[in-house]
Chain A
Amino acid sequence: MTFTDYIFENSSKLNKTSVILKNEISYKETFENVKKKLLL
């Protein structure tokens, strides 16, 4: 398992965990953006 797979391994089990950057940005949204970047 790579590091990022390890980091996001449990993400599907999480409901809505937030990364709070003053204005909230959902964890899911961040992960979706990460997936977009995979298309590099």
Chain B
Amino acid sequence: MLLVSENSNFFIENYFGIIKSGVICVPINPALSSFEIKYIIDSLNIKLIFTQNKFSEKIKQLVCEDVEIYSDSSECNLICEPVNSYIEDKDIDIQEDVAVILFTSGSTGNPKGVMLTHYNLIYNTNSIIEYLKLTKRDRVETVLPFYYCYGTSILHTHFRVGGSLVINNKFMFPQTVVEDINKYNCTGFSGVPSTYQILLRMTDIKNTKLPTLRYITQAGGKLPEIFIKQLIDILKGVDIFIMYGQTEATARLSYLPPHLINEKMNSIGRGIKGTDLLVLNNEGTSVKSGEIGEVVAHGGNIMKGYFNDTEETDKVLKQEYLYTGDLAKVDDEGYIYIVSREKNIIKSGGIRISPKEIEDIILQIPQVVECAIIGVEDDILGEAVKAFVVLIENKASIDLKYILDFCKKQLPSYKTPRYIEFLNALPKNSSGKVLTKELK
């Protein structure tokens, strides 16, 4: 069953209700294009859709007459006498039966449906609860959508422990996010890199006391060091969890214990309990300290596969090991440092350049809110470095030359951007991840 909803009570009721009824729940981003939604409906042969009213017209235009659509206002139609088709729990094989399919953008163009079993969800939820030390006293403010694995994990963990969620769907007004932490006495907050970059540079968080806040979590990409340091400086006494994961691993793969955040700056930590997280070289053996390899994971949280896509599944799942496509180094104590995603590495004049290194430099400029680096075609070098820069609104007192000179002082010439373009905002998906494909 398809679930089309923003974060809401409607989502929560229907999400758990669908899974409880023994059916696979497929929550999707309502903002997906009509083409993408139709692709998902057709490829999964969806026959029943739950949607918020606000999206029902869009959905109706995409489906045939034999597909039933229920919205907020049609709930009465759902209540009927118990029927024999209800699946008893004992009929569910938690190791084999899929509970949820989450869609991720695929490199081939079409989204890929990540199949997660009941066991995957339970396994990862337990691990996260343990290291975050979540209890029923915890109350998290969430700005991350529940159809995104990071957001889903927040929903799962807090319901399991009997904690609470404060839903804020107004991140376009970031000051409300800061205010809601105090208004609702939140103990936790979770975000992706852009969440924290915007909060740090576009709100009054630096001057706001957050006495109830116990911890924050960050995943969904690497938060530049300068922002990590600002968080440490501002949020004294608050545990800051730098984490790493993938939808294909249910959500979470690693975390860095908060007390190591200074000592292991920029590390994503080590594998969470029950998950082996390795960095392997081309020969398939663990890398030596400082050597770059691919992050590979094994554990009960690894997906069953991509729905109806054996070819793509076989590319990433090999003998029960998930090959993440992320490149990383490991230090002497086994802590992992992500270098880049393989597909994002810029190959310029035969040299491999990590976009993150250049982004980190440009983000040191206080007037810069966001930055993204890509490789663009170059007749001589193969690829040249291009920077997209977003400045703080109404405070843009710097120009291209300033940024270029700043880079030249800190980067070798081959890493200095050949091109710089200012944007009002970086293109992002609904989870806040930067869409580098659109920049290209």
Contacts and interface: CB of A to CB of B under 8 A. Distances in A.
Interface string B155-181: 010011111111100000000000000
Contact of A17 (B78, B164, B167): B164
Contact of B167 (A8, A20, A37, A38): A20
A34 B162 contact: no
Interface stretch (B55-63, B81-89, B309-317): B81-89
Identify whether the interface residues of A are mostly helix, strand, loop, or mixed: mixed
Interface string B287-324: 00000000000000000000000000000000000000
Contacts of B81: 39
Interface string A1-26: 11111111111011001111110010
B162 A39 contact: no
A34 to B, nearest CB: 5
B20 interface: yes
Contacts of B166: 20
Interface in B1-53: 8-9, 12-14, 16-21
Contacts of A25: 9
B79 interface: yes
Interface of B: 8-9, 12-14, 16-21, 78-83, 86, 89, 92, 94, 99, 118, 121-122, 125, 136, 139, 156, 159-167, 184
Interface of A: 1-11, 13-14, 17-22, 25, 27, 30, 33-34, 36-40
Closest 3 pairs between A and B when the two form their complex, measured CB to CB = A37-B17, A4-B20, A3-B118
6 contacts: A1-B94, A3-B19, A4-B16, A10-B160, A33-B13, A36-B17
